[in-house]
Structure 1
């Protein structure tokens, strides 16, 4: 049996998320501040988190800091995966991308996304309808709106203009959707609307060194392992404009023998999704768990594979 470190995406952010990290994470926070040229602890206030750039940087730093703390005392995971921006933390922890490079790339990523759509666009979660039904609603909608995330069989996210999303949400409710909720996202991620900023990011990414993952990296878009550095570069640079198949990623992990799913900070959004897949496994979130408990679980997975 194997273990997976899962890194959350935008929407999981919390006010004070970096300040809430254990004191042992201070070196990681300092490293991020040095790479960024500013104090990252200034980025997790309520006001700062209105910025896409700040949100994405906080998620990267929190995920890497939590993973490094665990790996300093416990066996490394067998797999890593990240939802959207979480993929950057996954690549750092896999040993493929230097943390300082990731910090600078994520800062640029957030700026490009925010600049492309400063207002009038975003994302909406639709619960209780299957993918075919939601795709039919999208095809019937007027205005730009697209499928963005497949989080579960009946938990999907759409992205596009506020007006188009509102129309789809209204029709989804009429079909007895459990919920159709506008998310705390100011950009239409994971659809063709972000193809131009993705290409701009890819141009900068071309000058950054990437290595073959030392820990198996699962792509949140293809739901498959990525080994080649150039394929990983493409996966990271363009994941902002590609549909996220998180449900497929979790199923791939489970089919490959993963039975311990550890969600890195912040929050426990991914844990709720994982419990639907890991029926005979263990799902735990870093936030709210004791370090010795997490250590024991990771060591148990190692002992069971011998």
Structure 2
């Protein structure tokens, strides 16, 4: 039986989330390393005002998740497998030791900058629940124009599909979904059209820059965003970090694959509990916890017990 650490992506951010991390030497070390790598206080990136920027959001997510990862490690808890959703994949890559934290910070900052430069305004993401992928794709196609593109994007669950594209087209799809039987249809707190072909150029630039970064052999499997396969080579992880931003995240398939490989305890790093909720729904036979929702202390106790029973 295996323990998986899950790392959330954009949309889960919360103002001042770094100030809410537990007091622990490992947290302080991560915050200090981030401040030195960024050459300014890491706290500058997680204020309510700062989080209107994709760059600040992605930096804050990485720092928050890695800080708690390092606390678990300091307490002797290491995952058997890791998975990160979208920007969370960079935290997962740090967790499996395919990339160093400072290099991940450099690349996640560039990722955010490239995304903002490509689409500074007028674009975003939405989510529809209560409809399958085929139906959502048909709705998106019916609203698609070259001037106002929109795409079905991430498959978070069989009946939870995200959208990416122009705000105008997103409004159309969301309105049509709302009147066509969707349980919910709403905008996400994401101002970039991630995980569709609109970001192909961003992926190309990221791939070029990531090729200059030293990657190492992962010490544990890393779940690929695009294919849900478990990756074990540095080159495969490098490619996923580059190209996941322009491809749908197959999160439901990832959850299923992790369970098939023996994962029975999922712990989500902060912020939020989005991935925990998805795991509980998709994998009722497994235990799913969120550090934010359940508290670090409770997660640590359960992780220790689990690792002791299944060592």
TM-score normalized by the length of structure 1: 0.97
Partners of 1:96 and 1:44 lie apart in 2 by: 26
Q: CA deviation at 1:17?
A: 0.5
List aligned pairs for 1:12-27, cutoff 5 A.
12-24=12-24, 25-27=27-29
For 1:273, which of 278, 302, 305 is the aligned residue?
278
Q: Which residue of 2 aligns with 1:125?
A: 127
Partners of 2:293 and 2:168 lie apart in 1 by: 38
Structure 2 unaligned segments of length 5 or more: list them.
Answer: none
Q: CA deviation at 1:290?
A: 4.0
| DSSP-derived class of the 1:146 partner | strand
Matched, 1:2 2:2: yes
Q: CA deviation at 1:238?
A: 1.1
Asked if the contact 1:16–1:45 (Cα under 8 Å) also holds between the matched residues in 2, the reply is yes
Matched, 1:70 2:72: yes
Q: CA deviation at 1:233?
A: 0.7
Q: Deviations over 1:152-175 (max 9, x none)?
A: 111110100111111111111121
**Which is further off, 51-60 or 195-204?**
195-204
Q: Which residue of 1 aligns with 2:252?
A: 247
Partners of 2:301 and 2:220 lie apart in 1 by: 20
| DSSP-derived class of the 1:244 partner | coil
Partners of 1:286 and 1:182 lie apart in 2 by: 25
For 1:238, which of 228, 234, 243 is the aligned residue?
243
| DSSP-derived class of the 1:189 partner | coil
Matched, 1:151 2:156: yes
Inter-CA distance 121–290: structure 2 relative to 1 (3 Å threshold)? closer
List aligned pairs for 1:111-260, cutoff 5 A.
111-143=113-145, 144-260=149-265
Partners of 1:228 and 1:297 lie apart in 2 by: 30
Partners of 1:125 and 1:70 lie apart in 2 by: 32
Structure 1 unaligned segments of length 5 or more: list them.
Answer: none
* Paired positions, count: 306
Partners of 1:279 and 1:178 lie apart in 2 by: 21
Q: Which residue of 2 aligns with 1:39?
A: 41
Partners of 2:296 and 2:243 lie apart in 1 by: 34
TM-score normalized by the length of structure 2: 0.96
- Over the aligned positions, Cα root-mean-square deviation in angstroms equals 1.1
For 2:292, which of 278, 287, 303 is the aligned residue?
287
Q: CA deviation at 1:289?
A: 3.2
